[in-house]
């Protein structure tokens, strides 16, 4: 497990349960996400929809003994990164009418 560490001297660690309480669930916004979601964001990362393959945003975390922790500041940075990629989604390519006409002319010239 490759963790992206945060500065333990400058930031207070919080448990995965505490971190999960900061994020509402998509299914029921009154409930928090599961700790498994927070752990996945720390260990694997999050792939924003509409971004290029391989684009992963990873939540910073540390392993202290047998316990994995993060920080409120790490959660803030993670949220900012997730939010900044939301507006950069790739737009589907569209074909203009000029390109359609050119393709049709090419096909006619080829005998189709």
Report pLDDT digits (tens) over 14-47.
999 999 999 999 999 999 999 999 999 999 999 8
Q: Dump strand ranges (E) for 39-103.
A: 62-64, 67-71
**Calpha distance 16→36 (Å, rounded):** 8
- Token reading at 86: 């939301």
**Calpha distance 47→104 (Å, rounded):** 39
Global model pTM greater than 0.75 = no
Residue with tokens 């001297």: 9
| 15 Cα distance to chain centroid | 21
Identify the band that residue 81 occupies on the pLDDT scale cut at 50, 70 and 90.
very high
Sheet of 67-71: strand order equals 13-14, 67-71, 62-64
């Amino acid at each position: 497990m490759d963790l992206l560490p945060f500065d333990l001297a400058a930031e207070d660690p919080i448990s995965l349960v505490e971190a999960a309480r900061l994020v509402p669930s998509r299914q029921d916004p009154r409930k928090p996400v599961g700790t498994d979601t927070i752990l996945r964001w720390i260990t694997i990362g999050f792939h924003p929809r509409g971004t290029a393959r391989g684009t992963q945003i990873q939540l910073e975390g540390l392993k202290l003994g047998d316990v994995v922790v993060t920080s409120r500041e790490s959660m803030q940075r993670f949220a900012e990164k997730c939010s900044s990629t939301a507006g950069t989604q790739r737009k589907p390519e569209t074909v203009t009418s000029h390109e359609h006409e050119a393709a049709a002319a090419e096909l006619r010239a080829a005998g189709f």
